[in-house]
Amino acid sequence: MVNTLNEFVRRLSTLGKFVSDTPIAGASGRLKRVSFALGFLLLALSIAPAMAQISFGGAIDLAVRNSPKVQMAQANVDKARAALAETHDVFIPNLVFGSAVGPPSYGFPLGQPSIFNVTSQSLVFSYAQRDYIRSARAALEAANLALRDARLAVAEDTAIAYLALDRDAQRKAALGEEANDAKHLVTIVQERFDAGQDSAINLTTARLTAAQIRLAALRADDEASGDQDRLAQMIGLPARALTIASSSIPSLTASTNTPSGPLPASSPAVEAAYATAHAKRLIAFGDQRYLWRPQISFFAQYSLYSTFNNYQIYYNRFQQNNAGIGVEITLPIFDKAHGDKARESAAEAVHAEREADLARNQFLEGRVKLEHTAAELSAQAEVAGLDQQLAQQQLDVMLVQLKSGTGNPGGVQMSPKDAANAEIAERQKFLAVVDANFAMRQAQINLLRQTGRLEEWIKSAAQTPSPLPMRP
């Protein structure tokens, strides 16, 4: 974000000089002067955010940082990383401390009256656990891919929202000029009507045109306010303090949307879906390999028994210190519940694989349609631009003829009414150009993401010259 700090400092300096030179009567004049200065300083600080200007790259960076979608994706990455560590932790011996001290038992001793005991155990070998580790590693890869896709989605939405504000600014300027032209037209027709040179229908038509332009301006203001609120919510800044810098928007040319190499076969979202399917398949493998395969575990234990019980009566050799260490080998032979779980995991893996295939097909189909749409919108923008250029050239010729009073040889002489109508028509065509260019650029940005070149284009914004401070 670029603030107009120089202008702000200049105003504060002027304010300080004004306060120091302002005569305030009374013995407490100096205190009043200080209070006066503080009040104006707070007022200036409250106005300063209104002069804040954010660049294209800065807006995208803030949006990615503040996006709940990105934050949730990052949380999923942290969760997957912890799950991967958990699959390795089973091989690390744990340590458990406990106590089972109670009053002396009556008769044969019940339980083990240990003052404290320490138990440690860990997994040494398991066929299934190796698959679970590989599954967790694939799940972490899927989470990272989903995080990258979330960042690209937020960057795409922010870029389009930023371009929408740029379009809104052009609309506002054009509609303002058109409103002035329409007002001028109403004045001309009214004068002609009063002189008996024009009809009431033409006067009503001119007024209707002016009213329609005012309505369009109000609707454009509402849309601009909504776009500003949307972008402000994305980047986490107050809407009233948000202004854009059109000069910071990187250009979108034909070469920008034409990849130099082969197109990617998928997107981060599709790759994340396949990574998730691979993780589920590995889980299914692990659940299947659990049955009829040995599992080796290590255990160790130490217990300190109490002497106030009657163990020594019933046991020939009683001692307080007791320890044991060993290896446990288990071989699951019949486990109906785990067998059903293995079949469930296999079905989930098949579902995830078919879901990934569907996502890939939709991605490829959508990219082809988007390429055609972008080409069509580019042609429409070119047509609209040429149409507006032709209208501007015709307007220029008309203004020259009107100024010289020559008109068309053998034709109708140009009048101020004709010029005003031509100016309104030219502004209408310019608005069509603005809308067509925005639709084209929106499709181009969508295509950049589909072709894997969105990040490259956004990075080019850093090479765009920084915007100049806004005029006061």
Same domain, 76 and 10: no
Confidence of residue 341 (pLDDT cuts 50, 70, 90): confident
User: Cα–Cα distances in Å, from 229 out to 222, 239, 248?
Assistant: 11, 5, 20
Does 341 map to a domain? yes
Same domain, 29 and 71: no
Confidence of residue 146 (pLDDT cuts 50, 70, 90): very high
Instruction: Report the SS3 class of residue 393.
Output: helix
23-73 residue pLDDT tens: 444 444 544 444 444 444 444 444 444 456 899 999 999 999 999 999 999
Q: What is the mean pLDDT of the chain?
A: 82
Same domain, 228 and 299: yes
Query: What pLDDT was estimated at residue 258?
Result: 57
Instruction: Report the SS3 class of residue 120.
Output: strand
443-455 residue pLDDT tens: 999 999 998 899 9
Same domain, 37 and 58: no
The CATH number that applies at residue 411 is 1.20.1600.10
Residue predicted with more confidence, 404 or 282? 282
d(CA 193, CA 207): 13
Tally helices (H) and strands (E) across the chain: 11, 4
Range 263-290 burial, b when 16+ CB lie within 10 A, else e: ebebbbbbbbbbbbbbbbbbbbbbbbbb
Range of weakest confidence among 356-360, 397-401, 468-472: 468-472
Range of weakest confidence among 13-17, 66-70, 129-133, 402-406: 13-17
User: Cα–Cα distances in Å, from 401 out to 77, 222, 451?
Assistant: 70, 39, 51
Residue predicted with more confidence, 394 or 163? 163
Range of weakest confidence among 34-48, 109-123, 131-145: 34-48
User: Cα–Cα distances in Å, from 178 out to 165, 171, 422?
Assistant: 20, 10, 11
Nearest to 54 by CA among 158, 168, 154, 148: 158
Same domain, 105 and 26: no
147-178 residue pLDDT tens: 999 999 999 999 999 999 999 999 999 999 99
Query: What pLDDT was estimated at residue 108?
Result: 66
**Tokens read off for 392:** 């501007």
d(CA 181, CA 183): 5
- Residues whose CB is less than 8 angstroms from the CB of residue 307 and which lie 6 or more positions away in sequence, other chains included: 320
Indicate if the pLDDT at residue 302 is higher than 70: yes
CB atoms within 10 A of CB 465: 8
363-377 residue pLDDT tens: 999 999 988 988 898
Does 417 map to a domain? yes
User: Cα–Cα distances in Å, from 270 out to 113, 276, 313, 355?
Assistant: 59, 10, 72, 10
Which pairs from 96-102 meet CB under 8 Å and 24+ separation?
96/120, 101/306
Does 468 map to a domain? no
Same domain, 14 and 129: no
Does 472 map to a domain? no
296-309 average pLDDT score:
82
CB atoms within 10 A of CB 60: 24
Look up residue 71 and give its amino acid. Answer: Q
Indicate if the pLDDT at residue 352 is higher than 60: yes
Confidence of residue 406 (pLDDT cuts 50, 70, 90): low
Residue predicted with more confidence, 341 or 77? 77
Query: What pLDDT was estimated at residue 14?
Result: 44
To the nearest 10°, report the CA torsion of 19, 20, 25, 29: 90
Query: What pLDDT was estimated at residue 469?
Result: 34
d(CA 225, CA 131): 54
Nearest to 340 by CA among 268, 288, 395: 288
Residue predicted with more confidence, 347 or 398? 347
Confidence of residue 260 (pLDDT cuts 50, 70, 90): low
d(CA 165, CA 228): 7
To the nearest 10°, report the CA torsion of 7, 8, 11, 16: -140
Q: Which domain holds residue 28?
A: 5-50
Sheet holding 96-98, edge to edge: 96-98, 114-126, 295-305, 321-330
d(CA 274, CA 244): 39
Same domain, 131 and 161: yes
Q: Are 90 and 286 in contact (CB under 8 A)?
A: no
Indicate if the pLDDT at residue 351 is higher than 70: yes
Same domain, 24 and 67: no
To the nearest 10°, report the CA torsion of 242, 243, 247, 250: 30
316-332 residue pLDDT tens: 777 778 888 988 888 78
Query: What pLDDT was estimated at residue 394?
Result: 86
- Taking the alpha carbons of 124, 125, 131, 134 in that order, is the dihedral positive or negative? positive
Does 401 map to a domain? yes
Q: How many domains does one find in the chain?
A: 2
Nearest to 54 by CA among 249, 247, 251, 242: 242
Instruction: Report, in angstroms and rounded to the nearest whole number, the Rg of the chain calculated over CA atoms.
Output: 38
Same domain, 342 and 407: yes
Same domain, 36 and 106: no
Does 469 map to a domain? no
Which residue stretches of 90-126 are H helix? none
Same domain, 342 and 255: yes
Same domain, 264 and 368: yes
Does 94 map to a domain? yes
Confidence of residue 425 (pLDDT cuts 50, 70, 90): very high
Look up residue 294 and give its amino acid. Answer: P
Residue predicted with more confidence, 464 or 120? 120
Does 470 map to a domain? no
Residue predicted with more confidence, 262 or 15? 262
- Residues whose CB is less than 8 angstroms from the CB of residue 426 and which lie 6 or more positions away in sequence, other chains included: 388, 391, 392, 395
pTM of the full structure: 0.77
User: Cα–Cα distances in Å, from 173 out to 119, 166, 229?
Assistant: 78, 11, 20
Indicate if the pLDDT at residue 275 is higher than 60: yes
